[in-house]
Amino acid sequence: MKKAKFLRLIISIGISIAALGQFADAQDRAVLAQAERVTGDKFAVSTKTPKGAFVYAVRKPSADVLNAIDKGLTDLFAVARKNRYYNRLNYSDYSIFIGKADRVKDSAGQYSPDIAVGAAQYAGSIYDQGGYIYAAGMVIAFNPCAFVIAEHTKDFDRISNVVRYEGEHLVLYHNDRKRFQATADHSKGGGHPILQ
């Protein structure tokens, strides 16, 4: 009798784990679909940074890019702890999508790989480029923590900054909803860094 109960318990646990795995797969597919919708790219490469963040890219990212992502997350986690925020401070909490840059230079001619996204709340502002804006990065999901950045071939410090800045929105979402709401929309002013 005890053996049968134990066997049912093991089977029940196995079914629960399988269901969680299917949920995670469905959630991951939804985030992937959102990233592809926003960028128009297909993310054929998946890898991890040395510290464990998930990376999905159109092409295999260099070691410099992966290290820059880790540096950005490290800086984010340090400033989050300084502000007494402790949720979602693991590298494995983050998924970074690296899409093709829609431009590589800004209007001043400076190196600035960015992604064109619909203007939405920025319509009619100085950022509006005729129905779209150029963004260095964009949050695409809060659960799991995911955002998209553009491919870079140099200026890897810029990647670190973009990762930190997009991560600020996610840290605030999971730790301080009031501050998140006040800083989520840059169309009304304000910018990065949010956390000092």
Phi, psi of 170 (to 5 degrees): -70, -40
Residue ranges per domain, the chain?
2-188
The whole-number pLDDT of residue 136 equals: 87
Average pLDDT, the chain: 83
18-50: burial string, b at 16+ Cβ within 10 Å, e else: eeeeeeeeeebeebbeebbebbebebeeeeebe
Q: Which of 9-13, 28-32, 72-76 has the lowest mean pLDDT?
A: 9-13
**Mean pLDDT on 107-133:** 74
